[in-house]
Amino acid sequence: MTLAVVLDIEGTVSPLSAVHDVLFPYARERLESWVRQDRPGTQAVVDEVRAVLGGHADLDDVVRTLLEWHDGNAKHSPLKTLHGLVWERGFLGGELSGVIYPDVPPALAGWRRRGTPCWIYSSGSVLAQRLWFSRSDQGDLGGYLAGHFDTLTGGPKQDPASYRRIGRAIGTPARDVLFLSDSRAELDAARTAGWATIGVSRPGCTTDFGTHRAIADFTEFGTAREVAS
């Protein structure tokens, strides 16, 4: 019986294009000026990047590193924190909104009806995740979610230890947690930690999910015993 559901965002509840073609360019355009203007929250990001580079890095080195990480789609926590800070302004100003596949809200409502808590685990920062769901094209979905984990609070998504850490945090035995993602490496890590897994194969997805069960969208939960119980 599934007692908790954990969802990935990009490629699972949201199209890749919404992140790569809208959110990422928005951040890329503003990232350097944000850091150089020392906007609220950026000092901690700069300190974290400096710690990675070795204490003597100057601001140019920090900016260059952040841009390199961004262009390489690195999932490093300081970059993700900065993304969230930059996006916050866009969300609050109405320039950005979350994009959620329409089959997702009915599934979230179904889990809530059954008393199954639903958590988010994404590389995007918790701040970005909250904005994404509360200001989405499907309305404010924040109330459906029990909470959020990112790489700062959960750890790297391809590391089984991250799933064990999250399992302890949500207080659910590993065998009772179901994880949905478009990433085979993430599903493998979750399975190693003892979680049930389902691959989500949205349009354009070419992932080979191997022995993980795969679904095309969340309407398939009507027949999924793992989540129907």
Any contact of residue 124 with ligand L4RZE5RM (CB under 6 A)? yes
Choose, by CB under 5 A, the member of 8, 48, 88, 150 that binds Mg ion: 8
Q: What is the closest distance, in whole angstroms, from the C-beta atom of residue 28 to Mg ion in the complex?
A: 19
Nearer to Mg ion, 62 or 177 (CB): 177
Sheet with 118-121, edge to edge strand ranges: 147-149, 118-121, 4-7, 177-181, 196-200, 213-215
Give burial (CB, 10 Å; 0-12/13-18/19+) of 73.
exposed
Nearer to ligand L4RZE5RM, 96 or 227 (CB): 96
Choose, by CB under 6 A, the member of 132, 149, 163, 221 that binds ligand L4RZE5RM: 132
Any contact of residue 150 with Mg ion (CB under 5 A)? no
Any contact of residue 167 with ligand L4RZE5RM (CB under 6 A)? no
Which one of the spans 88-96, 117-125, 171-179, 220-228 is the region binding ligand L4RZE5RM (CB under 6 A)?
A: 117-125
Q: Are strands 196-200 and 4-7 parallel, antiparallel or unpaired?
A: unpaired
Per-residue interface string for the shown chain with Mg ion, residues 163-192, x marking contact by CB under 5 A: -------------------x----------
DSSP string covering 202-214, please?
Answer: -TT-----TTSEE
Any contact of residue 19 with ligand L4RZE5RM (CB under 6 A)? yes
Angle in degrees, CA 117, 122, 124, rounded to 5: 130
Q: Looking at residues 135 to 164 of the shown chain, list those that interact with ligand L4RZE5RM (rule: CB under 6 A).
A: 157
Q: Of the candidates 177, 211, 209, 163, which has an alpha carbon nearest to the alpha carbon of residue 12?
A: 209
160/35 Cα distance (integer angstroms): 33
* Pair of tokens at residue 227: 């989540």
Q: Are strands 4-7 and 213-215 parallel, antiparallel or unpaired?
A: unpaired
Choose, by CB under 5 A, the member of 7, 10, 82, 227 that binds Mg ion: 10
Rg (CA), the chain: 18
Any contact of residue 199 with Mg ion (CB under 5 A)? no
Any contact of residue 11 with Mg ion (CB under 5 A)? yes
3-state secondary structure 79-112: HHHHHHHHHHHHHHCCCCCECCCCCHHHHHHHHH
- Residue 123 interacts with, from Mg ion, ligand L4RZE5RM, none (CB under 5-8 Å by kind): ligand L4RZE5RM
- Can you give the binding site for Mg ion, defined by CB under 5 A? 8, 10-11, 182
- Can you give the binding site for ligand L4RZE5RM, defined by CB under 6 A? 8-11, 19, 23, 75, 83, 122-124, 128-129, 132, 157
